[in-house]
């Protein structure tokens, strides 16, 4: 499983399309252990670009603070799980909370 988190200043970026980098965690499904971490600078933000790009990187889960409905729809069409309303914390803390089932998402902070 590959989990992508939009990141800015070392924390989860609250707006999916306006992050500095995407931190992608390769996680062992069985053991729920992080196997590797990579950071990727996203292409320019335009409608539909990020879902395609993250799909090409192999992401199957996206955890974000907020994400527009069109991006969510594009991910859903490609079988990628989207979790919105995540807190602006260290991405590794967010990943660990997601893996152990303790991540409690709040409201989607993006309304477009």
Distance, in Å, from the CA atom of 31 to the CA atom of 61, rounded to the nearest integer, reads 17
> Closest Cα to residue 80, out of 2, 12, 18, 17?
2
Residue 15 falls inside a structural domain: no
* Domain count across the chain: 1
Residue 13 falls inside a structural domain: no
- Amino acid 97: pLDDT: 94
Residue 81 falls inside a structural domain: yes
Residue 14 falls inside a structural domain: no
- Amino acid 5: pLDDT: 96
- Amino acid 64: pLDDT: 93
| CA 56 to each of CA 13, 53, 64: distance values in angstroms, whole numbers, following the listed order | 21, 5, 18
The segments of the chain whose pLDDT lies below 70 read 109-112
Residue 106 falls inside a structural domain: no
CATH number of the domain to which 52 belongs? 3.30.420.130
The number of C-alpha atoms within 13 Å of 77 and in the hemisphere containing its C-beta is 9
- Amino acid 109: pLDDT: 67
Residue 109 falls inside a structural domain: no
Q: Where are the alpha helices (DSSP H) in 57-103?
A: 69-77, 91-100
Residue 51 falls inside a structural domain: yes
Parent domain of 94 = 2-8+25-100
- Amino acid 59: pLDDT: 95
- Amino acid 107: pLDDT: 75
- Amino acid 106: pLDDT: 79
Q: Give pTM, 2 decimals.
A: 0.91
Residue 42 falls inside a structural domain: yes
- Amino acid 14: pLDDT: 86
Q: Which two tokens stand for residue 102?
A: 């303790």
């Amino acid at each position: 499983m590959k989990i992508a988190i939009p990141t800015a200043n070392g924390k989860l970026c609250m707006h999916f399309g306006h992050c500095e980098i995407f931190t992608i965690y390769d996680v062992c499904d069985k053991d729920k252990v992080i196997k590797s971490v990579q950071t990727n600078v996203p292409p320019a933000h335009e409608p539909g670009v990020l879902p395609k790009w993250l799909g090409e990187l192999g992401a199957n889960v996206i955890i974000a603070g907020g994400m527009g409905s069109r991006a969510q729809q594009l991910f859903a069409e490609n079988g990628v799980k989207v979790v919105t309303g995540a807190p602006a914390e260290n991405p590794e803390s967010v990943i660990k909370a997601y893996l152990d089932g303790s991540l409690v998402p709040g409201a989607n902070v993006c309304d477009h």
